[in-house]
Amino acid sequence: MQRYITKLITMLIPLISIISAQPSFPDNPGQAPIGGLGLLAAAGGAMALKKFRDKHKK
């Protein structure tokens, strides 16, 4: 069960930046968001996963 939750969260975290990049209210200033935040989040998640696994092996 925990593995499913972990996988689900790993897949969903990069989507946060996509969800938050939806069109905003008309009175907000024009946006030019920094690209690739989802990729960065995924890279961070992968880094943490590797560290945890390395710790587990020791």
Partner 1 sequence: MINLKNKFSPLTLFLLKAGGVYAAWQLIYDLVVLPDGRLDTWLSITGVKLAAAGLSFLGWEIETTGRFIACVGNRGVEIQNGCNGMDLLGLYAGFIIAYSGNMKKRVMFIIGGIGLIFIANVFRIAFFALSNLYYPQYWDSVHNYSSYVFFYPIVLTLWYLWTTMSDHTDIFSGESFSSA
Q: Where do contacts with partner 1 occur on this chain (CB under 8 A)?
A: 2, 5-6, 9-10, 12-13, 16-17, 20, 24, 28-37, 40-41, 43-45, 47-49, 51-52, 55-56, 58
**Residue 9 Cβ vs partner 1, minimum distance, rounded to whole Å:** 4
Q: Could you tell me the smallest distance in angstroms from the CB atom of residue 21 to partner 1?
A: 9
What is the DSSP track for 1-58? Answer: -HHHHHHHHHHHHHHHHHHHTS---TTSPP--PPTTHHHHHHHHHHHHHHHHHHHHH-
Q: Least distance from C-beta 30 to partner 1, angstroms?
A: 6
Tokens of 54: 């390395």
